[in-house]
Amino acid sequence: MSASISTPLRPHAEDAYADELAALAAADERPRPARWRLSPHAVATYLLGGTLPDGTVISPKYVGPRRVVEVAITTLATDRALLLLGVPGTAKTWVSEHLAAAISGDSTLLVQGTAGTAEEAVRYGWNYARLLAEGPSREALVPSPVLRAMADGKTARVEELTRIPADVQDSLITILSEKTLPIPELGEEVQAVRGFNLIATANDRDRGVNDLSSALRRRFNTVVLPLPASLDDEVAIVARRVEELGRSLELPQLPSGVAEIRRVVTVFRELRDGVTDDGRTKVKSPSGTLSTAEAISVVTNGLALAAHFGDGVLRPADVAAGITGAVVRDPATDRQIWREYLESVVRERDDWKDFYRSCREHV
């Protein structure tokens, strides 16, 4: 897509990767479930990346265990819905968007769950002007994204399911078990057509906000997205996303700052795991989540600093402020934890001197 002034800041997955999706569909000879744009196998290739027989390269969107992706896709071809669970920043939203794009060609049928999500957002609402003028009718009905997905046989998405109040969550039970949504005001119902399914995401740090009722939980297959298994995996994820984001923000191309990215990811992993990479030194974990997503944003901000105010090379000084901000969330406790980590771990590393000095300036 060529960038013009009206290019959306963040195109939907089905638009950003339209070429890859078209190439996959053209090469796909396996059976497709009703209304699916691709076979389950091709959806997996779209998510995990690969090379098609004609040489087209499909970029990996998700880096993680293949089995996790296969189970998620298979679930969506059954009559059970999919719940993606995991700690913050494990790509739950990202995977859900790409699954909907690959399966239905449409990732926009989305309900954003919050404490204020009302039943209308999950079922339907009314255009009150028409309702008052004409009485209840199909024309006065405002369908929710879920209702539209049911009618069109597409994938609906519900983000942050556990933030939604329990009684509103429960309105999903009939939809998921009976595959129908009664509209008593009209004396009719909308029956889901084949191809309909639903992907919900929930963050297991927020647990307790509103637990899923067991009745609802039974309608879902739960797939837990893990944190990146190794340092190398996580560095690869961050490097790829940073490059993509840099391109869409039109940052000048910089020589790759892989060494600096590796350092940021190492710091995040050590603080998250409570122990240094070599397993020798215990460290305390700060209160923040230090997710992969945050590492991506620290590095992207660093690149912007280097591009606009530095010498065009990503240096320790460019990431120091960002990393301090990510680690020190609660000034009372995290600042001390960060200082201890700087003194006992960072300072001792020979090739980390510049990084140590830059970080010291911010605490």
Ligand X SMILES: Nc1ncnc2c1ncn2[C@@H]1O[C@H](COP(=O)(O)OP(=O)(O)OP(=O)(O)O)[C@@H](O)[C@H]1O
Nearer to ligand X, 42 or 200 (CB): 200
Nearer to ligand X, 237 or 327 (CB): 237
- 296 contacts which partner out of ligand X, Mg ion, none, CB within 5 to 8 A by kind? ligand X
Helix (H) or strand (E) holding 220: strand 220-224
Token code pair at residue 251: 């940052």
| Binding residue (CB under 6 A) for ligand X from 17, 36, 46, 94 | 94
What is the β-pairing status of strands 50-51 and 57-58? antiparallel
Please state, in angstroms and rounded to a whole number, the distance separating the CA atoms of residues 275 and 286: 12
89 belongs to the binding site for ligand X (CB under 6 A): yes
297 belongs to the binding site for ligand X (CB under 6 A): no
Please state, in angstroms and rounded to a whole number, the distance separating the CA atoms of residues 305 and 184: 57
- Choices 62-70, 101-109, 126-134, 326-334 (CB under 6 A): range interacting with ligand X: 62-70
- Choices 46-54, 290-298, 323-331, 335-343 (CB under 6 A): range interacting with ligand X: 290-298
221 by DSSP, 3-state: which? strand
Output the smallest distance, CB 241 to ligand X, in A: 5
84 — phi, psi (to 5°)? -95, 120
17 by DSSP, 3-state: which? coil
Per-residue binding string, Mg ion, 54-93, x by CB under 5 A, is --------------------------------------xx
Output the smallest distance, CB 90 to ligand X, in A: 4
98, 49 contact by CB (below 8 A): no
**Alpha helix positions (H), 183-315:** 214-217, 231-248, 258-273, 292-309
| Binding residue (CB under 6 A) for ligand X from 92, 123, 219, 272 | 92
- 63 contacts which partner out of ligand X, Mg ion, none, CB within 5 to 8 A by kind? ligand X
51 by DSSP, 3-state: which? strand
- 219 contacts which partner out of ligand X, Mg ion, none, CB within 5 to 8 A by kind? none
Output the smallest distance, CB 310 to Mg ion, in A: 32
Output the smallest distance, CB 204 to ligand X, in A: 9
C-alpha closest to that of 98 among 201, 192, 4, 243: 201
88 belongs to the binding site for ligand X (CB under 6 A): yes
Nearer to ligand X, 58 or 140 (CB): 58
Nearer to ligand X, 92 or 154 (CB): 92
Q: Which residues pair with 25 in a beta bridge?
A: none
- 241 contacts which partner out of Mg ion, ligand X, none, CB within 5 to 8 A by kind? ligand X
61, 97 contact by CB (below 8 A): no
| Binding residue (CB under 6 A) for ligand X from 62, 220, 268, 355 | 62
For residue 161, give the DSSP letter.
G
Per-residue binding string, ligand X, 215-234, x by CB under 6 A, is -------------x------
324, 283 contact by CB (below 8 A): no
- 64 contacts which partner out of Mg ion, ligand X, none, CB within 5 to 8 A by kind? ligand X
Q: In angstroms, what CA-CA distances link 9 with 4, 19, 98, 301?
A: 10, 19, 17, 17
Please say whether the dihedral angle defined by the alpha carbons of residues 80, 83, 84 and 87, taken in this order, is positive or negative: negative
117 belongs to the binding site for ligand X (CB under 6 A): no
Residues at the contact surface with ligand X, assessed by CB under 6 A: 62-64, 86, 88-94, 201, 203, 228, 237, 241, 292-293, 296
